[in-house]
């Protein structure tokens, strides 16, 4: 079992729709969870972090965490073509100090 | 510097040659990470430095890979006797103290192509 799993996609949504990206992780000791966005040919950049169960909103982005289910998600409201990118889920293990990334989900927002 | 700097940005080498990749983290950042990203894939953890020490080397794919960091600054990733499967983008990132909630700042990566 991979430590962090994501559906590779591509996930295709029309402009203005809600995009839902999902991630599961295996290390129950994990305390910190992140979503990075990576445009093609570019380096990842942090867009959201979440540490407690529940929802965290920042503009059009909402991160959701459920530690009991070992599940974290990212919702993008009013999706724009500029949101088209690969979204990487990352989980920090407090045991090892490693930040482990999933394989990423490619999002395509069609005008 | 203002950001994480990696060099070279591109490296083409022949199978069997050794290569050395360099990373200059953000000044004052004590934690430094190396990741490998194959085409269309996610980030594969290689090694993590806290200061000059590497508490976790478990991600290094084989004994052909080694890394060091000096002066709590520059890090080099060395790949000996390169193989075609080593072709990938090698990303370096740094963070202030390596704490669990910290944001990682990534460099632009080194694109390694092994012919």
**What rounded mean pLDDT belongs to chain A?**
93
Using the predicted structure, report yes or no on whether residue B100 has a pLDDT greater than 80: no
- Which of B42, B57, B94, B97 to probe by mutation at the A interface, max A CB count within 10 Å? B42
Q: Quote the minimal CA–CA distance from B24 to chain A in Å.
A: 15
Predicted pLDDT of residue A13: 97
Are residues B111 and B84 in contact, defined by beta-carbon separation less than 8 angstroms? no
Q: What's the pLDDT band for B1 if we cut at 50, 70, 90?
A: low
Using the predicted structure, report yes or no on whether residue B102 has a pLDDT greater than 90: no
Residue B65: strand pairing partners: B79
Chain B residues touching residue A49 (CB < 8 angstroms) = 101, 103
Chain A residues touching residue B103 (CB < 8 angstroms) = 34, 46, 49
- CB contact under 8 Å between A101 and B48, yes or no, is no
Q: Match 């990733």 to its residue by tokens.
A: B77
Predicted pLDDT of residue A62: 98
The mean pLDDT of B76-99, rounded to a whole number, is: 94
Give the tens place of pLDDT for each residue, A59-92.
999 999 999 999 999 999 999 999 999 999 999 8
Using the predicted structure, report yes or no on whether residue A110 has a pLDDT greater than 90: yes
- How far is Cα of residue A47 from the mean position of the Cα atoms in its chain? 9
Give the tens place of pLDDT for each residue, B14-69.
999 999 999 999 999 999 999 999 988 889 999 989 999 988 788 999 999 999 99
Q: Quote the minimal CA–CA distance from A44 to chain B in Å.
A: 7
Are residues B73 and B58 in contact, defined by beta-carbon separation less than 8 angstroms? no
Minimal Cα distance from B109: which residue of A? A43
Predicted pLDDT of residue B56: 79
Q: Which of B78, B51, B52, B53 is nearest to B67 (CA)?
A: B78
The mean pLDDT of B89-104, rounded to a whole number, is: 88
Are residues B80 and B64 in contact, defined by beta-carbon separation less than 8 angstroms? yes
Strands (E), chain B: 5-7, 10-13, 19-24, 31-37, 44-50, 53-56, 65-69, 75-79, 88-95, 105-106, 110-114
Q: Match 């080593």 to its residue by tokens.
A: B86
d(CA B35, CA B48): 9
């Amino acid at each position: 079992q991979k430590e962090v799993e994501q559906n590779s996609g591509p996930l295709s949504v029309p402009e203005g729709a809600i995009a839902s990206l999902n991630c599961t992780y295996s290390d129950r000791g994990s305390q910190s969870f992140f979503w990075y966005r990576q445009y093609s040919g570019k380096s990842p950049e942090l867009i959201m972090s979440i540490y407690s169960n529940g929802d965290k909103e920042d503009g059009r982005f909402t991160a959701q965490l459920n530690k009991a289910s070992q599940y974290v998600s990212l919702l993008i409201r009013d999706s724009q073509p500029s949101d088209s990118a690969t979204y990487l889920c990352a989980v920090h293990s407090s045991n090892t100090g490693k930040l482990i990334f999933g394989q990423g989900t490619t999002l395509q927002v069609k005008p | 510097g203002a950001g994480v700097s990696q060099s070279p940005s591109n490296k083409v080498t022949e199978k069997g040659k050794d290569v050395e990749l360099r990373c200059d983290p953000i000044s004052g950042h004590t934690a430094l990470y190396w990741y490998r990203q194959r085409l269309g894939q996610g980030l594969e953890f290689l090694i993590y430095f806290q200061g000059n020490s590497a508490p976790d080397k478990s991600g290094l794919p084989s004994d052909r890979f080694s890394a060091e960091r000096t002066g709590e600054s520059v890090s080099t990733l060395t790949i000996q006797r390169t193989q075609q499967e080593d072709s990938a983008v090698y990303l370096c990132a740094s963070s202030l103290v390596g704490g669990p909630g910290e944001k990682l700042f990534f460099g632009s990566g080194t694109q390694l192509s092994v012919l």
